[in-house]
C-alpha cells in the first residue's frame, strides 16, 4: 500500500526500522551491514532498504531533516506499513560541555521549541520520551560492546540558524545535545502505541565551533550504527 511519500507494500519493511536523516547514510548502512539488502523505497530520494543483520530482518530508511519530515515518514511507517520500532540514528550538536566530537548520546527524553504537540489539544505540555524497552536494550548493548554512551535529554529544535543563540541556557538545564527530529518521532510513537528511540553521534560542537565533515557524518559514525543494529 503506497503512500504519497513511500512507494512500497505491506511486508516490504521489517518490524524495526533504523532512521538516519541522510539518505546516503541509509545506503551506506545497507551496503556495509545488511545481507541481501533490497531497495524498497526511493520516492523523493528517501532511500529505504530491507535486509538481514545476523539473521534478523531489519530495515533502514532516511527521515530527511527536521520535525515535519520525520513526522511524515515515521507516521507512515508506523500507521501503514506495520512497523513497530523506529530507532533514529542521527547527528547532533553538543550542548553539554562533557561531550565532544563522535561521542554518542541516547535520548531518554526531548525538550522542544516546536508546536507539533498542539495537534493533540492537551491542556498542558507533553514530555516526549523514549520507549524504555528500546532504551534499555541499546544501553545494555553499548556496555556489552564496550562503547561509551551518554543518556539524558536532548533539545529538538525547528531552527538551525537561530538568532537567539540560547544553547548555553539549555546547558544549564542539563541538556546533552541539540538535534531536529527526536521529539516528533517520540510523539508519533506515543500517539500510535509504537516504540521509538533516538541515538545520535555528536557531529559538531556549536559552543566551541568544532565540526565533522559531511563525508565523515555519512560514513564514519559506525559505533552508533552498530549499537542500533545489535539492539534489534
- What residues contact 144, with CB distance under 8 A and at least 6 apart? 230
Active-site residue identified among 12, 103, 204, 223: 204
Q: Catalytic site residue 163? A: no
Give the model confidence (pLDDT) of 144-190 as tens digits: 999 999 999 999 999 999 888 889 999 999 999 999 999 999 999 99
Do the beta carbons of residue 47 and residue 29 sit within 8 Å?
Answer: no
Residue 141: its pLDDT value, please? 98
Give me the numbers of helices (H) and strands (E) for the chain, helices first please: 7, 10
* pTM given for the model: 0.96
Cell representation of residue 91: 547527528
Q: Quick one: what percent of the chain has pLDDT higher than 70?
A: 100
- The residue extents of the domains of the chain are 16-230
Residue 165: its pLDDT value, please? 82
- CATH no. for 16-230: 3.40.50.1580
Nearest alpha carbon to residue 192 among 21, 74, 108: 74
Amino acid at each position: 500500500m503506497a503512500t504519497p511519500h513511500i512507494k512500497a507494500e505491506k511486508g516490504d519493511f521489517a518490524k524495526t526500522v533504523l532512521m538516519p536523516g541522510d539518505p546516503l547514510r541509509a545506503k551506506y548502512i545497507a551496503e556495509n551491514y545488511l545481507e541481501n539488502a533490497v531497495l524498497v523505497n526511493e520516492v523523493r530520494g528517501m532511500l529505504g532498504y530491507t535486509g538481514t543483520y545476523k539473521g534478523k530482518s531489519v530495515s533502514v530508511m532516511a527521515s530527511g531533516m527536521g520535525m515535519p519530515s520525520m513526522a511524515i515518514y515515521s507516521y507512515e511507517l508506523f500507521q501503514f506499513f506495520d512497523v513497530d520500532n523506529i530507532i533514529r540514528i542521527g547527528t547532533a550538536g553538543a550542548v553539554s560541555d562533557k561531550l565532544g566530537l563522535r561521542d554518542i548520546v541516547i535520548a531518554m527524553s526531548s525538550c522542544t521549541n516546536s508546536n507539533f504537540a498542539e495537534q493533540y489539544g492537551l491542556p498542558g505540555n507533553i514530555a516526549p520520551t523514549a520507549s524504555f524497552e528500546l532504551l534499555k536494550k541499546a544501553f545494555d548493548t553499548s556496555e556489552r560492546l564496550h562503547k561509551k554512551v551518554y543518556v539524558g535529554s536532548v533539545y529538538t529544535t525547528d531552527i538551525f540558524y537561530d538568532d537567539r543563540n540560547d544553547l548555553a541556557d539549555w546547558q544549564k538545564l542539563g541538556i546533552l545535545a541539540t538535534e531536529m527530529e527526536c521529539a516528533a518521532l517520540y510523539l508519533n510513537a506515543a500517539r500510535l502505541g509504537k516504540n521509538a528511540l533516538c541515538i545520535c553521534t555528536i557531529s559538531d560542537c556549536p559552543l566551541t565551533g568544532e565540526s565533522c565533515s559531511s563525508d565523515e557524518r555519512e560514513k564514519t559514525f559506525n559505533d552508533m550504527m552498530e549499537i542500533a543494529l545489535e539492539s534489534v
